[in-house]
Amino acid sequence: MNDETPICSAKGCRTAAVWVLAWNNPKLHTPERRKTWLACDEHREHLTQFLGMRGFLKDVVALAEWERRAAAGE
């Protein structure tokens, strides 16, 4: 593991992330804006529920797929 390794966003977790949770808070962000959290396998469900309960969650994408999309400019 090195500084380039994306780490899970869950509090206290130092596990390498494998998921990207894209979200938007309509009170703070314009509709097309996307904030992102990173999640390991263990915390994906917890973080998804946290955002989902608040109506913020937009997308859950595998990190590799997210990076592929970013590289493609999608």
Q: Which residues pair with 62 in a beta bridge?
A: 19
Residue 8 binds Zn ion, judged by CB under 5 A: yes
Residue 38 binds Zn ion, judged by CB under 5 A: no
Q: Which is nearer to Zn ion, 29 or 46 (CB)?
A: 46
Residue 40 binds Zn ion, judged by CB under 5 A: yes
Q: Which is nearer to Zn ion, 15 or 36 (CB)?
A: 15
H-state helical runs in the chain? 44-53, 63-72
Residue 44 binds Zn ion, judged by CB under 5 A: no
Q: Give Cβ neighbours of residue 68 (< 8 Å, ≥ 6 apart).
A: none
Do residues 62 and 41 lie in contact, with contact meaning Cβ atoms separated by under 8 Å? no
- Residues binding Zn ion (CB under 5 A): 8, 10, 13, 15, 40, 43
